Chain A
Amino acid sequence: MLQTLGLLLGCQLAGEFIARGLGLPIPGPVLGLVILLAALTLLPNLSSSLRPTIRVILAHLSLMFVPAGVGVIWNLEVLSSDWVALLVILTLSTVLSMLVTVATFIAMKRLMVRWVK
């Protein structure tokens, strides 16, 4: 468990180093994800030792959103003036994104089948 935590933090730290050092707009943890993916490609055996701890972390992902979510009660003035607009935007944007994703996925799948034939 401690080794896995150390490795996750190490990847994140390396990611922050690269992101801030090169002035990239990508969050450090996302680069850390890429670094861990590269490490897994080089050392496939790593995955079995990481799995137990990572399973626990990802199972409780929801907990980690609570502090930021609670933060909204000190930001109520932002939400209260625009909340109708925000709800409309979120719903429309989510429907649009789902439609485009599903249509592209099915269209490309059919195209690939035809192409292979």
Chain B
Amino acid sequence: MNNFVNLWSYLSTTPLLWLTATIGAYLVAEKISERLRNPPWANPVLISVALLSPILIFTNTNYGTYFEGAQFIHFLLGPATVALALPLWDNRATIQKSVVPILCALVAGSAVAAGSAILLAQAFDLPMNVLLSLAPKSTTAPVALGISEAIGGIPTLTAVLVILTGIIGAIIVTPLMNILSITDWQARGFAAGVAAHGIGTARAFKVNPIAGAYAGIAMALNALLTSLIVPILLKWLT
């Protein structure tokens, strides 16, 4: 028993335990998602959080201790954002072909995604720090976290809102477009990428390859635009 207590007091002070637990939970989550044939609601991030949370609560671990291990993974969000330049570069010919619809739809969709979130947050009388955490919700998580941090939001809340936005978008995009009988795969995919970032893009790839490519373009471009547009919209709307 004494040995076990010693072991725990050792493990709980090194980054090793929670770093391993985070990667382990993610690997299990991916397997579960695959088993269920990747439905939009069985998102690997959501499952990982659901697996880790009870363990952290049960062991009475505080955020600082958990993050000491998890920070190594969290840190990779930065280089991963930079890496989005490559898919943009790979798709440059496609982008050039329909540059006008792409840029117009990007600006309109991105402004509505952030602007409507800000206005609705005011309508629901949400506190300012929640409003600020909500504003960048349609862009990919590493960028959204950076924006949230820069404008004074709560990055952890933003992370959850971004993931929820992605899941909501991935669930509604197909039925919504079918009801409106929109058959243009470029337009459908682009909308999924602008409104629901990476999770919407993953969904679009499952439905149609052209939709997937356009969703990827939309996600990468929106990562750039949201960080420019959110501070401007906040100045106008709040």
Are A and B genuine complex partners? Answer: yes
Using an 8 Å CB-CB cutoff, how does the interface string of A83-103 with B read, 1 for contact, 0 for none? 001111111111111111110
Nearest CB of A to B145, in Å: 6
Flag whether A64 is at the interface (Cβ < 8 A): yes
Identify which of B80, B100, B117 contacts A57 (C-beta below 8 A).
B80
Indicate whether A94 sits within 8 Å of B196 (C-beta atoms), given known contacts A32-B81, A101-B191.
yes
A93 to B43: give the CA distance in the assembly, Å.
Answer: 20
Q: Does A1 interact with chain B (Cβ within 8 Å)?
A: no
User: Which of A27, A88, A106, A111 has the largest count of B CB atoms less than 10 A from its CB?
Assistant: A27
Closest approach, in angstroms, between the C-beta of A42 and any C-beta of chain B?
11
Which bucket holds chain A's interface residue count?
35 or more
Q: Chain B: interface residue count, which band?
A: 35 or more
Please report the C-alpha to C-alpha distance between residue A90 and residue B160 in the assembled complex, in whole angstroms. 11
Nearest CB of A to B15, in Å? 12
Q: Residue-by-residue, is B169-185 near A (CB-CB < 8 Å gives 1, otherwise 0)?
A: 10011001100101010
Q: Judging by beta carbons under 8 Å apart, are A72 and B82 in contact? A: no
> Are B157 and A78 touching (Cβ within 8 A)?
yes
Query: Which chain B residues lie closer than 8 Å to A67 at the CB level?
Result: 22, 66-67, 70-71, 73-74
| Cross-chain contact B74 with A96 (CB below 8 angstroms) | no
A104 in contact with B159 given A95-B172, A98-B192 (CB within 8 Å): no
**Quick check: A72 and B157 within 8 Å, CB to CB?**
yes
CB-contacts of B154-174 with A (<8 A): 154-165, 168-169, 172-173
Is the CB–CB distance between A89 and B121 below 8 Å? Answer: yes
**Nearest A residue to B134, CB-CB:** A89
B43 partner residues in chain A, CB cutoff 8 A: 62
- A29 touching B163 in the complex, CB below 8 Å, given contacts A68-B156, A96-B112, A105-B101: no
Please state if B101 and A90 are interface contacts (CB–CB under 8 Å).
no
Alpha-carbon distance A80/B27, docked complex (angstroms)? 29
A18 to chain B: closest CB distance in Å? 13
Flag if A98 contacts B23 (CB, 8 Å): no
Determine the residue in chain A with the shortest Cβ distance to B216.
Answer: A58
How long is the Cα–Cα vector from A88 to B104 in the complex, in angstroms? Answer: 27
Instruction: Determine the distance from Cα of A1 to Cα of B74 in the docked complex, in whole angstroms.
Output: 19
Q: B68 to nearest A CB, angstroms?
A: 11
CB-CB nearest in chain B for A29: B81
Chain B neighbourhood of A27, CB < 8 A: 81, 143, 146-147, 149-150, 227
> With A25-B227, A66-B25, A101-B109 known to touch, is A54 a contact of B168 (CB < 8 Å)?
no
Q: Contacts A28-B78, A63-B73, A73-B53; is A79 near B146 (CB within 8 Å)?
A: no
0 or 1 for each of A53-71: is its CB under 8 Å from B? (1 = yes): 0100110011111111111
Best-surrounded residue of A25, A47, A79 (most CB of chain B within 10 A): A25
Enumerate 7 A-B pairs (CB-CB under 8 Å) in ascending A order. A29-B143, A68-B159, A72-B157, A98-B109, A101-B108, A102-B180, A102-B182
| A contact residues vs B (CB 8 Å cutoff) | 5, 8-9, 11-12, 15, 25-30, 32-37, 40-41, 47, 50-51, 54, 57-58, 61-75, 78-79, 82, 85-102, 104-106, 108-109, 111-112
